[in-house]
Structure formats: structure tokens, C-alpha cells
Amino acid sequence: MATHTANEEPRTEESRISLWRRVRRYAVPASMIETATARRRAGDWAGACSAAHLDHEIDLRSLARTHGHDLATRVRADLRHLAPDLLRWHMPRAAPDGLLRPGTTIALACYDTDGPVTDLANPDRLLFHAPSGKFPNLCGIGAPHMRPARTPRRLAALTAALGGLLLALTSAPAATAGAPAAATPVEANGQLRVCGVELCNERGSAIQLRGMSSHGTQWYPHCLTDGSLDALAHDWNADVLRVSTYVQEGGYETDPRHFTDLAGRLIRQAGERGMYVIVDWHMLHPGDPHANLAAARTFFTEIARRNAGRNNILYEIANEPNGVSWSRIKSYAEQLIPVIRGVDPDAPVLIGTRAWSSLGVSEGADESEVVNNPVRASNIMYTFHFYADSHREEYLATLSRAADRIPVFVTEFGTQNYAGEGANDFAMSQRYLDLMAAKKISWVNWNFSDDHRSGAVFSTGTCNAQGPWAGTASLKPAGVWIRDRIRTPDRFPAV
């Protein structure tokens, strides 16, 4: 039976109007347009695709690794301008039902290093495809462009499957079968959860995350840019970014809206790069978390609401309680966790422990107080912090014992003394890393800034100069050491 396309003139004006009303009502409803537009304007291209029911498999991290940061940056910029709801609206459709036509491929953007594309056998192109055949050469005269661009000669394909649309990024010419792109940490593992004493991926397999913590975002926001986060994701190959929102010391309490917005931006930017994010409520002075309970309720409720549907978030609800009992910390956690769970029921919650998150060791206790009196909640982990030059055998032994009894996440550590300064003890630090690798204890290093202390990875002045971010030229010795260890291949279970 012959069919019309919705973009061709149907047999009657009435049938044309009926068809587009059907498309407007069911394929691109007003709610979809509103949500996708809001997310696009916020810079969240992945969220906009989700709102438009386009499931994306775009691996910018792998693209940067294999083809360079310039290409990944340009593709990301184009994706931020993509209006996926309008793309749904304007794709060719078949009458009378308005379904997408299979086998349709449309070039959205073409790239060339030397000017206009002339090599039709191997173009650089950004495609939208409803599969039923091979990718045709579409970058000739009259091919639609999203914007002019000059990139390495690589193919980037956006694929749309009939019905539930699919966006996919590949990195090989259409005529060449290449190796599958490496998945980002979030793509490889999905929604995390706690299983037993381990952190597990969505399939229930134990994993270890490795990454960096920001310094206080009130002091070093200029160290957290698109360029530096590109380097963290693609050059360092980090799995996780810890966003440290100080409560006092010029932080959240001085301007709640600003610091909530800043944390939200960093969550989005990390998510775009396929990294997990620890939302760190960085309470320190006063050491009793109850002092900031009301503010914590407000902050975490807002963060959870803004990021509903994301699967890359962990909530760290008390950085380093100190000068208070474990029962006091436990009481705080049991009041705050239900607030988060009311908005986000799935994300793991990380709970600070007594004595600057040392499991009590720095105040003469040990892990037994947590083991014998755990927080009454599920999908939680307890945090442990150490600084290798100060925290020696007793702390290492405590971490080892605790990891066998309770779920532990090392959300902060350094290779220096407890203040994050002084000489680096790389030998003791390596003993900790070896233990954490053996027991799949996830860890985050302090800190991704150019603070003058030896624990900040960048040389002073790097952030004001805006780089260079990648490589080792701008790194202090501690930065070179920790980058080398984060860059080693992840041992994520195969899908």
C-alpha cells in the first residue's frame, strides 16, 4: 500500500490537519516542549533529550580520549544547542498515523579540518537516523548544518530509532567497523546502590569509584570550569567529583541561593561528562551537625528536586563531625535521610563519622560504635577520612576492619599531614590505596584546586590563568602522583 509522508501534502487539508494534531498531541505534547526547553536553556542537553524521550548513548569522554578534546568540546557545544523536541516535530513522518519513517537519515552538522566538506566517501558528520539501512553520504551540497565547525576527520552519528528514539555517538567512518567506545563510569554502572558492605552498580556487582574533591566552592569556583572538568573526566579518567559546599566560612549560610545554584551547575557539568557526583555538605565548625540541620534540610531538598531522575548522585550529609558523640551524629542522620528519600529514594547517602570522619579514632574510639549502633536506614555508607603523613597504622587497621563490617566510602584523603600541607608520604598513601583496591573501597582525593598547600593538585596561579588543565605541567607532586593512580584502568564488571 502506498503511504504519504507527513511532510508531503496529504490528500486533503482535513487529513493534513488531523495528522499534525495527532503528532502534536501524542508525539510532541506541550509538556515535553516545556520541560525539554527548560533543560536546554539550563545547558543540560542530556536532560533535554530525556524529556523528549530520546535515549542517548553519546560518549563524549571516550570521544575526547580517542579523538581529542577539541572534537569533544565542539560536539558538546552543538548538543547544547540541539532542541530534541523540535527534532521530533520536524522528522519526516508517514501518513495517516504520523509515525516516523524508518530508514531516514538527516545530517544535522558537517565538519572538516580544511574548509567545506568535499570528500563524500568519508565525511565528518552529525547524523539523525531512523535505521533500516546503511548511513548514506549526506554532507554534500544542500546538507543541513547546525553550525560551521572545524574538527579532526571523524564521524559522529546521532541515531533515532522508530518510536522510542535513540541518540548514539560513534567514532568511526560508516564503512569501517571500529571497536566499541569505552563507556563512561555512569554508562557502565548506572544507578548505584549499597549491597552488603560494598558499593554496587545497577546490576548488583561491587565496584570501586576513584576521583577528586573540589576545595570549598566559595574560594575556588574558578578551578571548576568546563576545561578543568574536561581534563578531570577525559585526561585523569576520574569516576567521581566531590562538590564541597562549605556551610560556614563564607559558604552556604552567606548566600544559600548562590551556593545551591553553584552545586547544581557542577552536578550538571559532571553528569555531562559521565562522572558521578558526591554532594558534600561540608560542615566543619561547629562540629555538631545538628547546628545546621534546618539548612541541610533546605539544601538537600532543593538539590534532590532539581536533579530528579539523575542516576549519578550520592549525598554526603555531614563532612566531618567533631566534638560530638556518635549517637548525636546518628540522630542527625536519621532526621535528614527521610527528607532526601522523600524526593530521591534511590541515591546512596554517605554519613560522616565521629572525630572528623575517622570512625572515632581521632578521639580515642574505633569503628565498633558504628558497628554496634548503626543508622536506621538502608542504602547508606559511612565515611572515613585520612591524611597519610599523620594517620598511620592505627587508622589503616581501623579502615581495614571497618570495611569488613560496614559499608565505607573514603570521601577525603591526602598524601600530606592532617591539614593537607607539608611533605607527601607517598609510601603510606600507597598502602592505603592498595587496601582500598583489594576491598573495593571507593575514594576521593583532596583537592582539585590551586590552593597554596601541597595537597592542592594544581600549582598556584593555574586556575586564574585557566590552565593548562590536562597533562602534568601545571601539577604539584601530589597532583602528578594522584593523577597517575586515577588514570589506571577501572575494573568495572563487564555488562
Q: Where are the domains of the chain?
A: 13-168, 195-486
Beta strands in 373-451 (DSSP E): 380-387, 408-414, 443-446
Catalytic residue positions, numbered: 320, 412
Count of CB atoms within 10 A of residue 394's CB? 12
Tell me the CA distances in angstroms from 359 to 7, 329, 403, one per residue in order.
Answer: 65, 12, 11
Determine the 3-state secondary structure of 72 from DSSP.
helix
State the amino acid at position 13 in one-letter form.
E
- Residues 260-304: tens digit of each pLDDT: 999 999 999 999 999 999 999 999 999 999 999 999 999 999 999
Q: Is the pLDDT of residue 179 over 80?
A: no
Contact 112, 124 (CB under 8 A): yes
The Cα 380–Cα 171 span in angstroms is 38
Query: In the Cβ-directed half-sphere of 42, how many Cα atoms lie within 13 Å?
Result: 22
Q: Own/partner pairs for 261-265, CB < 8 Å, 24+ apart?
A: 262/217, 262/221, 263/217, 263/303, 264/303, 264/306, 264/307
Top pLDDT among 156 and 209 is at 209
Q: Which helix (H) or strand (E) holds 315?
A: strand 313-316
What is the model's pTM?
0.68
The alpha carbon of 170 is separated from its chain's Cα centroid by a whole number of angstroms, namely 20
Question: CA–CA separation, 124 vs 217, rounded Å?
Answer: 39
Q: How confident is the model at residue 138 (pLDDT cuts 50, 70, 90)?
A: very low
Confidence of residue 9 (pLDDT cuts 50, 70, 90): very low
Amino acid at 240: V
pLDDT of 7 > 80? The answer is no
**In the predicted structure, residue 479 carries a pLDDT above the cut 80:** yes
Distance CA 366, CA 263 (A): 33
Q: Does the structure show a pLDDT above 60 at 72?
A: yes
Omega cis (within 30) before 148: no
Between 245 and 158, residue with greater pLDDT: 245
User: What confidence tier does 100 reach under pLDDT thresholds 50, 70, 90?
Assistant: low
- Kindly tell me the sign of the dihedral angle through the C-alpha atoms of 457, 460, 466, 470: negative
Greatest CA span in the chain, whole angstroms? Answer: 84
Mean predicted confidence (pLDDT) in 347-362: 98
- With 80 as the cut, is the pLDDT of residue 163 above it? no
What CATH number does the domain located at 195-486 have? 3.20.20.80
Average pLDDT of the segment spanning 114-143: 42
Containing 99, the helix (H) or strand (E) segment is strand 99-100
Per-residue confidence (pLDDT) for residue 398, from 0 to 100: 98
Predicted local confidence at residue 130, as pLDDT: 47
Report the run of H or E that residue 20 belongs to, with start and end.
Answer: helix 13-22
Between 70-74, 162-166, 192-196, 453-457, the lowest mean confidence (pLDDT) is in 162-166
Which residue carries 532526601 as its cell? 340
pLDDT tens, 18-35?
Answer: 655 666 565 677 777 877
Percentage with pLDDT > 70 across the chain = 68
Q: Answer yes or no: is pLDDT of 480 > 90.
A: yes
Give per-residue pLDDT as tens, 384-429.
Answer: 999 999 999 999 999 999 999 999 999 999 999 999 999 999 999 9
Instruction: Please give the pLDDT value at position 140.
Output: 39
Q: Which helix (H) or strand (E) holds 55?
A: strand 54-57
Sign of CA dihedral 178, 180, 182, 187: positive
Dig out the grid coordinates for 190 from the structure: 548506572
Run of H or E including 212? strand 210-213
From the list 257, 128, 276, the residue with the least C-alpha distance to 208 is 276
Provide the pLDDT for residue 33: 83
The amino acid sitting at 368 is S
Does 338 have pLDDT greater than 90? Answer: yes
The pLDDT value recorded for residue 335 is: 98
Q: What is the pLDDT of residue 34?
A: 77
Q: What is the pLDDT of residues 370-380, one digit of tens each?
A: 999 999 999 99
* Three-state SS at 334: helix
For the chain, the residue count is 495
Please check the confidence at residue 96 and state whether its pLDDT lies above 50: yes
- Specify the pLDDT at position 86: 76
Check residue 22 and give its pLDDT: 62
Q: Is residue 435 scored above 90 in pLDDT?
A: yes
Q: Residue 82's pLDDT is what?
A: 82
Q: What is the pLDDT of residue 79?
A: 77
Instruction: Write the DSSP assignment of 226-295 as a string of letters.
Output: HHHHHIIIIIS--SEEEEEEESSTTSGGG-HHHHHHHHHHHHHHHHHTT-EEEEEEE--SS--GGGGHHH
Q: How far is CA 433 from CA 345, 387, 399, 413, in A?
A: 31, 12, 11, 10
Identify the three-state secondary structure at position 66.
helix
Burial of residue 133 (number of CB atoms within 10 Å: 0-12, 13-18, 19+): exposed
Least confident of 110-124, 153-167, 197-211, 386-400: 153-167
Which among 91, 90, 92, 95 has a CA at the least distance from the CA of 2? 95
pLDDT 10s digits, 447-466: 999 999 999 999 999 999 99
Q: What is the pLDDT of residue 188?
A: 95
Query: How far, in Å, CA of 301 to CA of 131, rounded?
Result: 42
Q: What is the DSSP string of 128-160?
A: EE--SSPPP---STT---SS-----S--EEEE-
Mean pLDDT of the chain: 81
**pLDDT band for position 13 (50/70/90)?**
low
